[in-house]
Chain A
Amino acid sequence: MSTDRELDTLLAGAAVVRDADLPVLPDAFLTTLTAEEPASVLAARQLVDDARRSRLRRRPSRKVLVRVAAGVLAVAAAWTAAVVVDRPDGAAPPVAAPAPSQVVEAPVDGISLVAAERATFPLSVDPVPAGLTATFSRWGGVAFYPGQPLVYSADYSSAGSDRFLVRLFPDDPRAWPDSGWSVDGPVTGTVTVDGAVTEVRGGDGYLTLLWERPDGRWLQVLGEGAYGEPAAAVAVAESIVDRPQPVGLQFGLAPAGWSIGGYEESRSLDLVNDAAPEQLLRLSLIGREGGLTVDTALSGTELAAPVVPVTVQGLDGRLALVEGYGNPDFWNLVGEFADGPMFLLVAPQELTEEQLLAIAEQVTYSP
């Protein structure tokens, strides 16, 4: 039997690195951090950054399959008001965001932005028990994550200890080499779910059910607290229906030819380029721990160009090109949802600044 202390001992053993075995941080790096740069060096660096940024706008994409044309995007309808905050050097042209739900066409050989595929979780629980809130995850199944099968997971949690997970697998997870899906414990019994023989695994306060669907996919219900009892878990299992439901984060616009790559606990959402699977566009929520703000969210990031104040969805945001150092540079855009959390968009440089702003303007979040 495992006490909290025994569990912490198990955890401690998994740390694999002990502070006592590590060196102190070098004084030389402290000097690097705290050295003040003369104003002339800062000014020269700013000029170099501005010139480099100007070259970046005209430089063709490094990718053969995805080419980005220089210049301003042509749009099918009227722009919304251009609302970029003036940059400190006062030389910035306004960067406008397109009206919602518009197809934003680049010049002939560039990327188009189209209405995004809606991110959904393929199943629903009907009815959802009172007092539970759901978050959704999707992993694998795309070339960006080679060799990882597509797994969907819904987490229905209460404020207390009652909780259940619903997981959908493409085939029998017991046969997978990575058995990290709670399927390697002993079977303690069987029940029947919608006529299917269902394996039961469990212990004190928790239980898992695993069965094969008629379409060959496999479902798992993991229950804790009140849902760790067989009757309650079976009731959940039998309430699962093939009805897609939206996940919290959504893109409104996406690059043409890009698809959903995955999502994590309804707090991050990926799009991947079908033609170039190494390219990923990620939308994620940012916490405000430690007093983090839109203004400080990019602090410490090594940049290829200065941070640009922008306005996204009517609120302050920040846009920066992050230094790739041997890998392609990539965009970071920080924004905020009204009365909600901050968000971060990470995107490859193949998207232009204007495209990224257009995408940011149409991301949404429903908690």
Chain B
Amino acid sequence: MTTPSRDVDLFDRVYRDCGTAVLGYALRRCDSREDALDVVAETFAIAWRRRTDLPPDPGEVRPWLFGIARNCLANSLRSTGRAGRLGERLAASFAPGAVPDPAVLHEQSADAGRVRAALLELSDEDRELLTLIAWEGLTPAQAAAALGLTAGTARVRLHRARGRLRAALAVPASSEETSHEH
């Protein structure tokens, strides 16, 4: 276990090293900039409170943070209430225009819209498994950790999720895709 001052130093380093990754995670999944900033603010507020649990291994920190962020995404009715003060403080800390608005970006690509619509046909966990790897660049093992799965279970689900996404996109699988892990 780390000492309190080391916890603070570690948290500082995690905030600076991983903050942009958490911001990107939230912007890719929220409908508005304000919702995304709420998620980021809540994520780091929780991470601060739980800083004694911060993984010392740098390769484990982002999955840990994304696991918290995922719960922050799920745990409020954002359409009816804003997480509020912390999110607003974070927003006020940025220079104007520094954070893009996902609502605008989502409208700019028809192909992206088609893929996003197909993703919505998947289960929440399948979608998160695919996007943690494709968007956040996690390895399957890291994505498994973020979702509380074993690496073996994640590999099976990833194969299945890709198949479902292909079906939703009406994109046939390649003959190179071979093994079915059960």
Contacts and interface: CB of A to CB of B under 8 A. Distances in A.
A300 B16 contact: no
Interface of B: 8, 11-12, 15-16, 19-24, 27-28, 40-46, 48-50, 53, 64, 67-68, 70-72, 74-77, 80-86, 88-90, 93-95, 98-100, 102, 105-106, 108-109, 111-112, 115-121, 123-124, 130-131, 133-135, 146-148, 156, 159-160, 162-177, 180, 182
A104 B172 CA distance: 56
Given A11-B131, A34-B12, 14 more contacts: A2-B166, A10-B111, A11-B130, A16-B105, A19-B24, A24-B16, A25-B15, A26-B94, A182-B167, A206-B163, A264-B124, A292-B71, A298-B75, A327-B81
B116 A30 contact: no
B80 A24 contact: no
A37 interface: no
Contacts of B131: 11, 15
A25 B40 contact: yes
Given A17-B24, A22-B20, A322-B76, A289 B146 contact: yes
Contacts of A235: none
A329 B81 contact: yes
A13 B115 contact: yes
A203 interface: yes
B71 A25 contact: no
A19 B180 CA distance: 33
A7 interface: yes
Interface of A: 1-4, 6-8, 10-19, 21-26, 28-30, 32-34, 135, 155, 159-161, 163, 178, 180-182, 184-185, 201, 203-206, 208, 222, 224-225, 264-265, 267, 278, 280, 282, 284, 286-292, 296-302, 322-330, 332, 344, 346, 348
25 contacts: A2-B174, A7-B166, A10-B115, A10-B169, A12-B134, A16-B108, A17-B105, A23-B20, A23-B99, A25-B40, A30-B16, A33-B45, A33-B48, A203-B173, A205-B163, A206-B163, A267-B124, A292-B71, A297-B71, A300-B43, A301-B42, A301-B75, A328-B80, A329-B81, A346-B77
Given A22-B24, A300-B45, A11 B81 contact: no
Contacts of A328: 80-81
Contacts of B119: 11, 14
3 pairs of A and B residues whose beta carbons are closest in the complex: A25-B19, A185-B170, A11-B134
A204 B173 contact: yes
A297 B75 contact: yes
A286 B71 contact: yes
Contacts of B67: 289-290
Contact of A323 (B40, B85, B94, B169): B85
Contacts of B42: 300-301
A325 B84 contact: yes
Contacts of B102: 16-17
B178 to A, nearest CB: 11
Contacts, number: 253
B112 A302 contact: no
Given A15-B28, A22-B24, A289-B70, A32 B49 contact: no
B48 A34 contact: yes
Nearest to A223: B167
Given A301-B75, A302-B84, A182 B171 contact: no
A161 B164 CA distance: 9
Contact of B75 (A7, A155, A291, A344): A344
B164 A224 contact: yes
Contacts of A330: 77, 80-81
B148 to A, nearest CB: 4
Contacts of B160: 160-161, 163, 224
A327 B182 CA distance: 48
A213 B139 CA distance: 45
Contact of A326 (B28, B82, B95, B175): B82
B72 to A, nearest CB: 7
Contacts of A180: 117-118, 120-121
Contact of B163 (A34, A224, A287, A297): A224
Contacts of B77: 280, 282, 330, 346
Contact of A206 (B45, B71, B116, B166): B166
Contacts of B105: 16-17
B64 to A, nearest CB: 6
A160 B180 CA distance: 8
A1, A201, A265, A301: residue with the most chain B Cβ atoms closer than 10 Å:
A301
A209 B19 CA distance: 46
Nearest to B113: A14
A184 B82 contact: no
